[in-house]
Amino acid sequence: MKLGLCMEGMEDYIEQVIRRPRKELNYLEIGVAYGETLGGLSKVISAMEIDDWMTIGIDPQHELLQIRFFEGLKIISHADSGQNPEPRSVNHYPYPIEECVWIANATMPMHVVLIDGCHSRKCATDNFLTVEPLVPVGGTVMFHDYGERNAGQNQPHCNALVDVTSAVEDLGLMDGKRPGWSAPDMVHGDSSILAVFNRI
């Protein structure tokens, strides 16, 4: 399976997380860019024998999205930021996550979440805090670009430096101080690190 930007070397790990046996599977990706990861994982999920699934991508740069990554899938672009995602579909929200009204009011579980939007310390922290109440026991949150690789680069979204590492530390996830979360699983890809936490 081929995934998107700087995901090389992590594909098998992510696919294993997706394929854990579940009755229901909702996948949320914050920061979709061209859509290769969202499309690739949506194809895997839609082919699994689960009746109850949906995939959701959020990214203000909607013009980047390439429809070729979604062949054979039903993809819905939600013009209304308050509209809930639809089952058995890929749901794309062309706004920044902080403007997604539905997620602020959401009650549906998010079983697997990839945080890969704005990589500033504040945004990575806020993204986690937004999704945390939705992640059920057994669910997984993955932070892309943990570590020093891009540290020092500017994030245009909020004009701050890339610093996912500090966000994860601030949240108390690295040292086990945050209740309800597993110790980190560090997945070293060819060019980036994924910091993964399971809800326990």
Ligand X SMILES: C[S@@+](CC[C@H](N)C(=O)[O-])C[C@H]1O[C@@H](n2cnc3c(N)ncnc32)[C@H](O)[C@@H]1O
Nearest distance, CB of residue 179 and ligand X, angstroms? 27
For residue 176, the minimal CB distance to ligand X (Å) is 27
The tokens 């914050």 sit on which residue? 30
The residue range among 24-32, 43-51, 131-139, 162-170 that interacts with ligand X, by the rule CB under 6 A, is: 24-32
For ligand X, the binding residue among 94, 96, 139, 184 (CB under 6 A) is 96
- Window of 42-50, 59-67, 70-78, 146-154 that interacts with ligand X by CB under 6 A: 59-67
Give the nearest distance from C-beta 165 to ligand X in angstroms.
16
Alpha helices in 9-152 (DSSP H): 11-18, 36-47, 101-104, 121-131
> Interaction with ligand X in 129-168: which residues (CB under 6 A)?
157
How does DSSP assign 113-129, residue by residue?
Answer: EEE-S--BHHHHHHHHH
Residue 44, token pair as written in the block: 């895997």
Site for ligand X contains 61 (CB under 6 A) = yes
Q: In sequence order, what E strands does 83-168 have?
A: 90-93, 112-115, 140-146, 154-155, 160-161
What is the DSSP secondary structure assignment for residue 199, as one 8-state letter?
B
Indicate which single residue of 37, 130, 165, 192 sits in contact with ligand X (rule: CB under 6 A): 37
Burial class (CB in 10 A: 0-12, 13-18, 19+), 159: exposed
Number of residues that bind ligand X (CB under 6 A): 25
Return the residue of 103, 115, 116, 181 that touches ligand X, per CB under 6 A: 116
74-86 b/e with 16+ CB inside 10 Å = b? ebeebeebeebbe
Query: Residues 161 to 200: which contact ligand X by CB under 6 A?
Result: none
Per CB under 6 A, residues contacting ligand X are 3-5, 7, 29-34, 36-37, 58-61, 64, 96-98, 116-118, 123, 157
